[in-house]
A = this chain, B = another copy of it.
Amino acid sequence: MVVTDPDVLGGYRQDRAFDPDAGTALALVRPTATEQVAAVVTWAHEHRVPVVPRGAGTGLSGGATAQDGALLLSTERMRAITVDPVTRTAVVQPGLLNAEVKRAVAEQGLWYPPDPSSFEICSIGGNAATNAGGLCCVKYGVTTDYVLGMEVVLADGTVVRLGGPRLKDSAGLSLTKLFVGSEGTLGVITELTLRLLPAQPPQSTVVATFPTMTAATEAILAITGALRPSMLEFMDSVSINAVEDELRMGLDRNAAGLLVARSDAPGEHAGHEADIMLAACEKAGATEAFRTDDPEEGEAFCAARRFAIPALERKGPLLLEDVGVPLPRLGDLITGIADIAERRQVLVSVIAHAGDGNTHPLIVHDPNNADETARAHLAFGEIMALAIGLGGTITGEHGVGRLKKAWLPDQVGPEVMALTRRIKDALDPYGILNPGAVV
């Protein structure tokens, strides 16, 4: 079970944050059962060896970056799932991919909503550890809204079960919710009980391009003020062109921004809502606006949006942001990001889960150009500072990990950091769980 081969370890050294400061781990373990996780953590606790838990390694904040002398604990081989259509819940092990969970529950006519762009390659355990979001969150909420219970291995190896397949449970502290989003710093999640919904109805889709960012943000606010779209995504000019370079789907390369908006209201109501969104885009000054009730055609536009990050990655290494603001400040955030990009002379492409104010500014830079890389990192920090100043968050759905840790105190303040530290120390007194992440 224990792997020490440096070649294998190398493949587990980083997640998709590609932290250049990743350390060299002691060993890798890939347990298949909770008891093995408990045995590993008990041993690590006794010997004060750090443990870095990881799922599929697709994290974007460096939460799974290897540390010197640490045990890497990958949950990739814990892949069981049981679906109960009567309670509309699924019990899943953490190593299953989000897409595999979606497919397994779909076989029973059910739906697990949270849908990070990386849903085909990210693990459900990692989703819970980061409180991952996605495209449908604007209407359906984030991972924590779907976690009813879990099994978790604590820092001393104790296994506890929290919550269960019950929509309502006020018995004791809300510990399940505390572990969601704790990024492996409080325990290792070995099983999740997920709330499911009936299959999503077919969606109607609106795609619109805008000549200016102002027009696009006006359309966003008009849409969210009128109804609750099941998706409302934004791509800027740079990302439109990057996607078009790869997919050749006929996107307008001259547009300043593109919106993809969807409705999954029942029956013909999806079309009615799409009409309202189409009219809002036209009123805001869309150069082109297009509506389809064809699910396949709609899916193609969503695929374009999901493909934005991979397409931009082909242009060069990215520093990937995840800042969010209250919706009315979205325009200020986007304008402010453009100012930062200009001041620091770096290319910043903005894509966004526009409907919930969560944006992904992507800072493109050449790692062989030390000066540009330095300016990119300055912009990275300044964008977070900007979001904080607008009443926002440094991370909407990726987590703090190691990459964003230095900015967390600026967002939450010293009292909340002290409170966080008290909980961390109470649950992991020797600090063996994912040291260096979050706190």
Contacts and interface: CB of A to CB of B under 8 A. Distances in A.
A142 interface: yes
A172 B400 contact: yes
Given A160-B413, A266-B269, A415-B158, A408 B171 contact: yes
Q: A-B pairs with the 5 shortest C-beta distances?
A: A177-B177, A426-B426, A168-B396, A167-B356, A422-B426
A86 B131 contact: no
Contacts of A138: 167
Nearest to A167: B356
A259 interface: no
Contact of A167 (B180, B198, B357, B416): B357
Contacts of A422: 426-427
Interface stretch (A10-18, A20-28, A362-370, A386-394): A386-394
Contact of A169 (B164, B166, B393, B416): B393
A390 to B, nearest CB: 11
Interface stretch (A221-229, A287-295, A334-342): A221-229
A411 B171 contact: yes
A214 to B, nearest CB: 17
A285 interface: no
Interface stretch (A238-246, A320-328, A343-351): A320-328
Contacts of A165: 326, 391
A168 B164 CA distance: 24
B327 A172 contact: no
A258 to B, nearest CB: 21
Contact of A168 (B166, B356, B400): B356
A259 to B, nearest CB: 18
21 contacts: A87-B326, A138-B167, A141-B167, A160-B419, A161-B413, A161-B416, A162-B416, A164-B326, A166-B396, A168-B324, A168-B356, A169-B396, A170-B393, A171-B393, A172-B439, A173-B438, A175-B178, A175-B416, A175-B420, A422-B427, A423-B423
A385 B357 CA distance: 46
Contacts of A130: 170
Contacts of A408: 171-172
Interface string A418-439: 1110111111000000000011
Given A173-B178, A408-B172, A328 B87 contact: yes
A75 interface: no
Contact of A142 (B137, B167, B221, B413): B167
Contact of A396 (B170, B404, B420): B170
Contact of A172 (B169, B197, B420): B420
A89 B145 CA distance: 17
A395 interface: yes
Contacts of A391: 164-165
B166 A324 contact: yes
A412 interface: yes
Among A170, A358, A397: residue with most chain B CB under 10 A: A170
